[in-house]
Amino acid sequence: EAQVTQNPRYLITVTGKKLTVTCSQNMNHEYMSWYRQDPGLGLRQIYYSMNVEVTDKGDVPEGYKVSRKEKRNFPLILESPSPNQTSLYFCASSQGFGQPQHFGDGTRLSIL
């Protein structure tokens, strides 16, 4: 089954404790992206990757890092999380930019 898998689905943690949200897709997609969803603000792109070893900033990259060492994986790293990063996070992938995106089921992060 074609899917984008995010882990964990839920996480409560404390300020400053490094965390990684993993994202994996099994569709051999070139394009991958991370979004955060906040009430009243809709979806905002954090980072995206056009292909392996190619990443670029989205609209709200501050406080986040990503890497794309393999085509299937696109982890999101919060080196020093802060409460303003409490949000619902989505990973998405597509065959290329402009193609329909497949989304994971989301990761709800709470940073205390």
Residues that bind another protein (CB under 8 A): 4, 40-45, 90, 92, 97-98, 100-106
- 3-class SS of residue 91: strand
φ, ψ of residue 17 to 5 degrees: the values are -90, 110
Smallest gap from Cβ 16 to another protein, in A, equals 28
Q: Is the distance from CB of 6 to CB of 91 less than 8 angstroms?
A: yes
Smallest gap from Cβ 52 to another protein, in A, equals 18
In angstroms and rounded to an integer, the radius of gyration of the C-alpha atoms of the chain is 13
Residue closer to another protein by CB (options 92, 111) is 92
Beta bridge partners of 66: 76
Residue closer to another protein by CB (options 44, 65) is 44
Residue closer to another protein by CB (options 35, 64) is 35
Smallest gap from Cβ 38 to another protein, in A, equals 10
Q: Is the torsion defined by CA of 38, 49, 94, 5 positive or negative? A: negative
Residue closer to another protein by CB (options 81, 104) is 104
Smallest gap from Cβ 36 to another protein, in A, equals 12
How far is Cα of residue 36 from the mean position of the Cα atoms in its chain? Answer: 8
